[in-house]
Chain A
Amino acid sequence: MNHFPQAWGRPRDDIYGHYNSSYLQTANPTQHTQSPVVTGTSVVAIKYKDGVVIAADNLASYGSLARFTDVKRLRKFNSSTVLGFGGDVSDMQYLDRLLNDLDVKENYSHADDEASQLSANNLHTYLSKVMYKRRTDFNPLWNHILVAGISSESEPFLASVDLLGTTFSSPSLATGYGAHLAQPIMRKLVPDEEAVKGISKEQAVDVVKECMKVLFYRDARSMDGYSIAVISKEGIEIKENEKLENQSWQFAERIRGYGTQVN
């Protein structure tokens, strides 16, 4: 008889035989995600001289249906990092739990001081490896993630990783539709790393708000309620129930096919 702890409380193999797990298998081959189901749209982020500003709207769409309108796609990780998730919401939840476990484990080593905490660049590296591993398994996590925070060198940090495990870093970043519509607006303000040093927090917040507005005008999967976070050495300031201000739909009048005027 096997006396080892792992056998405690289990039927004895020498009497009942090995556990027959064959019935657990299905006849069908394994299937992986072919397309995301409940999705979030763009995330936009820009660096400024002391930190990073990041925003995403609070909508989760089910195809073209605006299904959930209070979904928080900016996730705070520790006191120095915020992640912005575009793409599949359930995969975002999986990653959120994965990182939560990681944070619990980091906590085991009595690392109370800030210096030994995982920094934004550590987290980005970790995520890129998770994403690349999953795409290599032909089972990608269907997200495009922006990592915004403070690096190990106490500098503002902004980088992205997508469902293929591709990583990219730039003074301003946007996912999804934002990559086409918001990125040019932000690039005008910060064309390169040098320009970041001249940007104040207010300027960065303003341009991000402007981007969110443009995205709401032109992206049919977006919403006017959004979350915005400012990450600096002083900590994280996160507002999760913002509304777009000063909208003007006058430009729409000139668009052919808009409203009742069909051609």
Chain B
Amino acid sequence: MTSIGTGYDLSNSVFSPDGRNFQVEYAVKAVENGGTAVGIRCKDGVVIALEKLVTSKLMKPNANKRIATVDRHIGVVSSGLVPDGRHFVVRARAEAAEWRKIYKAPIPVHSLADRVGQYVQAHTLYSSVRPFGITAIVGGWDSETEVPVDGQVGSGPSTGAGGKKEGGKHGGPFLYMIEPSGLFWGYYGAATGKGRQTAKSELEKLDLAAGTLTLEQGVKEAARIIYVAHEDSKDKEFELEMTWISSLSGPTKGRHEEVPKEIREEAERLAKKSLDDDDDDEEEEKKDDKMEE
């Protein structure tokens, strides 16, 4: 059933007779045109990468960052309507700050994804608002060691269990993707935006579920995937924006930071090289075909 002219797509809070919410589906269309964003959950951290399309040559290179930091340990990138993404980040930061006020500790990545997910979903319920025109990727690292409570002054009792269980697994890398409907799942690798199909098939090749990919490899793969996904819109210029969150013993010490320039440029160089190699292979194949003829 088409949505055009039926009237079921005019309001958010209205279902079509076959159980669809067209406003949400249109929001998904807005995402499909945005620059590709990718998140990879590695064994010792998370990488977030974005194909930032250059909309004007008059804008300063490497300024106007699109990957945002929430609290200290979480990064958010979105694809779709940029202002909607900004509002999403504002809300995420407010939720993280509110969590700290109550629990005096950093918000776990899952709790943040849950709360912003609820917020996005609420925008599909009311006729007074429109859904978010973005799909957001939320990546972060929950501390694997005990973190002091904010404002803690002493060390507490030195005897007794203190409510802690020995040998429990705590913290680690987390990656979530939140869609305009408010739906969110945890992922090993997530991709959204224009080049998501290409990016997803590349991510599947990495066998991320095995949990063997290191953060350093992840950075190189993320850069390569963005370059591969860009192939279809080669005429447009883009900048690669990349951030990471490592374990406490890794390069960012559990914080969300920009990937250092040298490492990013090296990853870009390798990405370009692998693209060139692929082109060469294709040409060789063509030659082989001709020879066979």
Contacts and interface: CB of A to CB of B under 8 A. Distances in A.
B128 A3 contact: yes
B153 A93 contact: yes
Contacts of A68: 153-154
Given A108-B93, A110-B258, A72 B100 contact: no
Contact of A72 (B72, B127, B154, B258): B154
B287 interface: no
A110 B244 CA distance: 12
Contacts of B122: 5, 8
Given A3-B127, A5-B129, A8-B126, A108 B68 contact: yes
A97 B102 CA distance: 12
A96 B258 CA distance: 27
Q: Is the interface of B mostly helix, strand, loop or mixed?
A: loop
A112 B257 contact: yes
A58 B268 CA distance: 51
Given A3-B126, A3-B127, A8-B126, A70 B154 contact: yes
Interface residues of A, number: 23
Nearest to B67: A110
Interface residues of B, number: 23
A71 B151 CA distance: 11
A72 B154 CA distance: 6
A60 B153 contact: yes
A138 interface: no
B69 A93 contact: no
A100 B93 contact: no
Given A8-B126, A92-B151, A93-B151, 10 more contacts: A4-B128, A68-B154, A93-B153, A96-B150, A97-B104, A100-B100, A101-B97, A104-B72, A104-B96, A110-B258
Interface of A: 3-5, 8, 60, 68, 70-73, 89, 92-94, 96-97, 100-101, 104, 107-108, 110, 112
28 contacts: A3-B126, A3-B127, A5-B122, A5-B129, A8-B122, A60-B153, A68-B154, A70-B154, A71-B153, A93-B151, A93-B153, A94-B151, A97-B100, A97-B150, A97-B151, A100-B100, A100-B151, A101-B100, A104-B71, A104-B72, A104-B96, A104-B97, A104-B100, A107-B69, A107-B255, A108-B68, A110-B258, A112-B257
